[in-house]
Amino acid sequence: MSTPDSGPLTGIRILEVGTMLAGPYATMMLADLGAEVTKLEPAGGDISRKVSDTYFASLNRGKRSVRIELDSDAGQAELGELVSKSHALLVNLKPSAIRRLGLTYDALRRWNERIVCVAITGYGLHGGDDPAFDYVIQAAAGIAALTGDPAGPPTLPGYSSADNSTGLTAALGLLAQIVSGRGGQIDVSLYEVMLSQLNYHAAAYLNGGKRPQRRPFGAHSYYVPAQIFPTAEGYLALFVTHDGFWKSFATEAGIDGFERMAERAERRDEVLEVVTTALSADTAANWEARLRPLGIPAAAVREMPEALEASPEAVVTAGEYRLVGSPVRIPGYEPSYGPPPRLGEHGGAATD
């Protein structure tokens, strides 16, 4: 049982056969909350070890590492022993590799009837082995087509949104099944996760045939004004979602009219023209300083180094690495951010 200053997942033991990002990110989030996470790594280790030390550390802090050859009889015996003492196993590999290495619930239930097995794949455990890296999924699911200026090519966010989102979804599924008290197979695919994140776009199309439209400056489909705007210096993100926000903003910016949301949506081009003109009178930083005290959602566009410098509380130390810490804040609990493990540091062939 956890104590007030221990993590909510203290005592939960999770095995990970993870590569690169989605799987390791999922289990790192759980490790930050107190779970004991053990990476099961082949002779060469998780391939992300070869990307860079900081890349590996950003996804694997606070874990254990056991070197194990899962395609050998000895490795399978060791896997069974580890499974018998664990609550869950999370894997992200191709479906054929997951089955070949015996990493499904059907293969492992003989060792532990209550083991929760989570498979992260591109298109589902029964969806085949087609290549399914983050950017490929964003293209296939319609994300890239919605991103960027409509006068330019489709584009992608500057980070791995599909992998990160799928990792979080997989962690949710893993915890839900543990809470149920039953073992079983959880199947999470990058493709379906990204389709689900299109929620209101998909609903508008499925229920009314409305195709999503890529708009300049990332403008929102429904809310006006809600997008990036140029200013006298820099760019400002402004997100006016209801008439109260508009009233406060319009008063501060010296704009008349357009009091109702429906009117602003219907007269989108006119609204954007007057807002753009008004915002051009001051800098993005000054607009943020003026609008924030009024409760209006607005922020100057910053680069990542600036955001990190403005958020020192988000940066933690894990061994020799400075990293962004857990976003889950729990009163009375402070995560212990251990270093990323050395390959085979906690047992297996690497220490023989």
pLDDT tens for 110-154 read: 999 999 999 999 999 999 999 899 999 999 999 999 999 999 999
Looking at residues 289-299, what average pLDDT do you find? 96
The amino acid occupying position 9 is L
In the chain, what percentage of residues exceed pLDDT 70?
A: 97
Looking at residues 55-75, what average pLDDT do you find? 96
Total count of domains within the chain: 2
Catalytic residues: 163
Residues 296 and 319 both lie in one domain: no
Q: How confident is the model at residue 8 (pLDDT cuts 50, 70, 90)?
A: very high
The amino acid occupying position 185 is Q
Query: What is the residue range of 45's domain?
Result: 13-197+315-351
pLDDT at 178 over 80: yes
Residues 172 and 268 both lie in one domain: no
In this structure, the number of other CB atoms found within 10 A of the CB of residue 176 comes to 11
Burial of 283 (0-12, 13-18, 19+ CB in 10 A): middle
Give the separation between CA 264 and CA 61, rounded to whole angstroms: 47
pLDDT at residue 215, rounded to an integer: 93
Structural domain includes residue 62: yes
pLDDT at residue 5, rounded to an integer: 63
| Contact yes or no for 17/40 (Cβ under 8 A) | yes
pLDDT at 269 over 80: yes
Residues 322 and 287 both lie in one domain: no
Give the separation between CA 71 and CA 282, rounded to whole angstroms: 63
**Residue 92, domain CATH:** 3.40.50.10540
Residues 40 and 166 both lie in one domain: yes
pLDDT at residue 6, rounded to an integer: 85
Structural domain includes residue 240: yes
In sequence order, which residues have a C-beta less than 8 Å from that of residue 251 and are 6 or more positions away?
Answer: none
Give the separation between CA 191 and CA 245, rounded to whole angstroms: 36
Residues 265 and 224 both lie in one domain: yes
Residues 225 and 323 both lie in one domain: no
Where does 143-203 show beta strands of DSSP type E? Answer: 184-189
pLDDT at residue 3, rounded to an integer: 45
Residues 328 and 281 both lie in one domain: no
Looking at residues 190-203, what average pLDDT do you find? 96
Task: Return the closest-CA partner of residue 199 out of 212, 214, 188, 189.
Answer: 212
In sequence order, which residues have a C-beta less than 8 Å from that of residue 309 and are 6 or more positions away?
Answer: none
| Contact yes or no for 194/221 (Cβ under 8 A) | no
Q: How confident is the model at residue 163 (pLDDT cuts 50, 70, 90)?
A: very high
User: Phi then psi for 188, rounded to 5 degrees?
Assistant: -130, 125
- DSSP element (H, E) containing 261: helix 261-266
Structural domain includes residue 37: yes
Structural domain includes residue 204: no
Structural domain includes residue 210: no
Structural domain includes residue 211: no
Structural domain includes residue 99: yes
pLDDT at residue 349, rounded to an integer: 60
Looking at residues 274-281, what average pLDDT do you find? 98
- DSSP element (H, E) containing 79: helix 73-84
Residues 279 and 325 both lie in one domain: no
Q: How confident is the model at residue 45 (pLDDT cuts 50, 70, 90)?
A: very high
pLDDT at residue 329, rounded to an integer: 94
pLDDT at residue 4, rounded to an integer: 45
